Amino acid sequence: MIKQEVLYQSNSANLFARIADRPWAVFLDSGQPESEFGRFDIMAANPFMQLVTNGTHTSIIDHHGCRSSTNDPFELLKESLAPYRLKQTELPFEGGAIGFFGYDLARRIEDFPEVALDDERMPQMMVGIYDWALVVDHRLKRSYLVSHLMHSETKQDWLALCALFNEPQNPVLKQSFKITSALQSNMDYKAYSKAFHCIKEYIRDGDCYQVNLAQRFSAKASGDGWEAYLALREISPAPFMTYMNYRDEKTTFEILSASPERFLQVHGQHVETRPIKGTRSRSEDSTEDAANAYALQNSAKDRAENLMIVDLLRNDISKACEVGSVKADNLFALESFANVHHLVSTVTGVLAKGMSAIDLLRACFPGGSITGAPKLRSMEIIEELEPHRRGLYCGAVGYIGFDGNMDTNIAIRTAIYSRGEIRFYAGGGIVADSELSKEHSETLDKASSMLALIQRFGGDVALKESKP
């Protein structure tokens, strides 16, 4: 492995902007350098292999060409990474897989009906395998360009990459971003109310304990999504932010994520998941804001919801962890973000012998905090009641390194920009004692950062009904 120190900048976006237009450019952005999760930022582009899953087929593209397989996408990813397995690396990522796993990839794991409209029209999985990456360490204030120089393209580009990241001048945005229509939702209040009461009936009948119900917002847009992401990271900094630019001859869309939630982390044999359940809005009035936080911390309903999902996640990670190693280390911690307060719990375990990070990811996918309990029945109800398939929303984004380490988020507070439109979801868990008006307001609280983004670029957020 070769590691070259390059120019450090406290704002890593200035470094990523230099490669933002490259094929499959990805930026895993900690968003909050001062937080415990904000030490490292990771960026890369030009993967030497690409795995793209559409329905039952996964395309694997590399210098040999393109082949298609109907095998399990998670197994295909394991096979693709296997030849490059390395010992534990010094930095969190020194090459490996970076990409996304859409919520609808769950159809390759579980069998549930196809009812909702697939309007996203995007792959269920897109993962690149990268031979080089730039890793920014905000604690030490140093940046490292790392590679194993396994492929001729990287060898040819290495000196140019070093020069590029040492360039003192920052790139200029090429095309301004703007919203060109009013915002719409795929569920007005009446439609949301109907779905809400249907879930309450399912709960009363004993079908489920909790179901995560979400609505989708959309608006027409034009210009450079990177500019929109820069605004989003200013409006709503979060520890598991992501920008991904998938532009090539077949695919054009951008991912803008301000996720506050870790899905799964593997470091060595240590496993961690940090489910979020429980939300209150922030207030500019400090007294009211503190009262909201206190109310959340002392809400029996929210703590019960959180504990329900903790139990689900304990069960899920136990499928790939050593018997007796799974523990709920820290329950109901208050974490405050730009627009909301959350209750966050931490569940840990020890990866079992013979199990990999990808095995764990498959065993837990999709995250229980954004489905409900029991998971499969909740997903069937979501499919029945939400007008559109979720696409990436509530899936996961992150990396799996050549060393076997992994870190992924839950893709909430996440927008897709494609086909001249920006789309994002917001939802919340419905339980037996949920109240309609409060649950609907909570979705708007969670969407508030995205709504602010729409407003910043000229959009009208007075919601209009949109037909499924």
Q: Would you state the pLDDT for residue 88?
A: 81
Tens digits of per-residue pLDDT, 387-431? 999 999 999 999 999 999 999 999 999 999 999 999 999 999 999
Least Cα distance to 327 among 314, 316, 315, 343 occurs for: 314
Q: Would you state the pLDDT for residue 171?
A: 76
Q: Would you state the pLDDT for residue 467?
A: 43
Measured CA to CA in angstroms, residue 73 lies from 23, 79, 105, 246, 286 at distances of 22, 10, 9, 19, 48
Tens digits of per-residue pLDDT, 253-282? 999 999 999 999 999 999 999 999 999 999
Q: Would you state the pLDDT for residue 154?
A: 78
Least Cα distance to 210 among 79, 395, 365, 378 occurs for: 378
5 is catalytic: no
Label residue 466 by pLDDT band (50, 70, 90).
Answer: very low
Q: Would you state the pLDDT for residue 37?
A: 75
d(CA 315, CA 326): 9
Residue indicated by tokens 């959340």: 296
- In single-letter form, the type of residue at position 434 comes to S
Q: Would you state the pLDDT for residue 244?
A: 98
H or E element, residue 59: strand 57-62
Q: Would you state the pLDDT for residue 87?
A: 86
The tokens of 323 are what?
């018997």
Which of 120, 254, 261, 386 is catalytic? The answer is 261
Mean of the per-residue pLDDT values of the chain: 93
Residue 109, burial from CB neighbour count under 10 angstroms (0-12, 13-18, 19+): middle
Q: What is the pTM of this model?
A: 0.95
Per cent of the chain over pLDDT 90 is 87
| Pick from 67-71, 76-80, 95-99, 174-178: least confident | 174-178
Number of separate domains in the chain: 1
250 is catalytic: no
CB 53 within 8 A of CB 206: no
Q: Which residue spans within 183-251 are E strands per DSSP?
A: 184-185, 210-222, 240-247
CB 275 within 8 A of CB 345: yes
Tens digits of per-residue pLDDT, 424-461? 999 999 999 999 999 999 999 999 999 999 999 999 99
Beta strand 184-185 pairing with 464-465:
parallel
Label residue 143 by pLDDT band (50, 70, 90).
Answer: very high
Q: Would you state the pLDDT for residue 174?
A: 67
d(CA 210, CA 199): 8
Q: Does the pLDDT at position 152 exceed 50?
A: yes
Q: Does the pLDDT at position 249 exceed 70?
A: no
CATH (domain of 121): 3.60.120.10
- In single-letter form, the type of residue at position 392 comes to L
Which of 120, 254, 277, 442 is catalytic? The answer is 277
CB 150 within 8 A of CB 187: no
Q: Does the pLDDT at position 17 exceed 90?
A: yes
Q: Would you state the pLDDT for residue 246?
A: 93
CB 47 within 8 A of CB 128: yes
Tens digits of per-residue pLDDT, 304-344? 999 999 999 999 999 999 999 999 988 999 999 988 999 99
Q: Does the pLDDT at position 468 exceed 60?
A: no
Expressed as residue numbers, the domain containing 308 is 2-465
What is the average per-residue pLDDT within 162-178? 85
H or E element, residue 174: none
Residue 236 DSSP symbol: S
Measured CA to CA in angstroms, residue 400 lies from 95, 148, 178, 385, 451 at distances of 9, 16, 34, 33, 32
Label residue 248 by pLDDT band (50, 70, 90).
Answer: low
